Structure 1
Amino acid sequence: MSLLDDLFRAARAAREKAYAPYSRFAVGAAVATPGGEIFAGCNVENASYPVGSCAEAGAIAAMIAAGGRRIAAALVVGEGTALVTPCGACRQRLREFAREDTPVHVCGPEGLRRSFTLGELLPLSFGPDNLTNDG
């Protein structure tokens, strides 16, 4: 099995557990660390819409809770004819722990639809390196 297959399997399983009673739009995501550990998350909606959380946020939180600090690859899976790419906030969340050349794979239930780099999804981004104090 490849890393892409493992990410897809984890994101698809997480998507099946999504809590999306309002939008009925289930999303799953998975991130891999440089060491190959995989963490998954699903979207969790709330009656107060802004309080819900995205699948990518859940996957990143699981990685951080386990002690991970770097994302080597990410994958998002959702349904529909349009690509289910990370929202703007999740692109920024990924940027906190990933590099510009980090692959972000976008899948439908059937499998891979397209791959991007984080830099393609979030060009000229602001990240941790912008806050370093070089004196």
Structure 2
Amino acid sequence: MELLERAREAIDTSYAPYSEYRVGAAIRTADGTVFTGCNIENANYSNSVHAEELAISKAVEAGHREFGAVAVASSERDGVTPCGMCRQTLAEFCDDDLAIYCDEGDGEHSTYTLGELLPNTITAAHLDR
């Protein structure tokens, strides 16, 4: 799958000297454009940037607001899923049916929807209450 391959390639640019857990992500926009991101660690862990966060930020910066799928891979090929913070960031721009592909290694992947990984998410509608 091309989207997973792009996520795997993004791992190569990761900066993870502290955890040594390198992550890459690729997000496909509604028009088929793919943006990638990698994790960038900081000695102050709370300032680290997550791969999914970087990929969607680059896409939004380029003017995209609709997305079709995201893929995530780690150097461990362990089926990593987006963390809670990244799930919430994805939910800002994506519907519950967004496909999320997670690299299991050996050519295998798991597929989830954003709604499965983040049920009952906080949305802009909650701020109107």
TM-score for both structures, normalised by structure 2? 0.91
CA distance in structure 2 between the partners assigned to 1:32 and 1:45 by the alignment: 24
* 7-16 or 49-58, which deviates more: 7-16
Q: SS at 1:84's partner residue? A: coil
- Residue 98 of structure 2 corresponds to residue 126 of structure 1: no
Q: State yes or no: 1:83 paired with 2:84.
A: no
Gaps of 5+ in 1: none
Give me the whole-angstrom Cα distance separating, in 1, the residues matched to 2:108 and 2:54. 21
2:97 is equivalent to residue 101 of structure 1: yes
Read off the aligned partner of 2:72 and give its amino acid letter: V
1:132 offset after TM fit, Å? Answer: 5.6
Distance 2:107 2:35 in 1: 18
Q: 1:78 Cα deviation (Å)?
A: 1.1
Which deviates more, 106-115 or 94-103? Answer: 106-115
Q: Which ranges in structure 2 are unaligned for 5 or more consecutive residues?
A: none
CA distance, structure 1, for counterparts of residue 69 and residue 117 of structure 2: 14
Q: Normalising to structure 1: TM-score of the pair?
A: 0.87
Q: CA RMSD in A?
A: 1.7
What residue number does 1:71 align with?
67
How many pairs does the alignment contain? Answer: 129
Deviations 1:93-132 (A, max 9, x none): 1101110011011014533420000000001111234446
Give me the identity figure in percent. Answer: 41
- Give the Cα–Cα distance (whole angstroms) in 2 for the partners of residues 10 and 132 of structure 1: 38
Large movers: runs of 4+ above 3 Å: 79-82, 108-112, 129-133
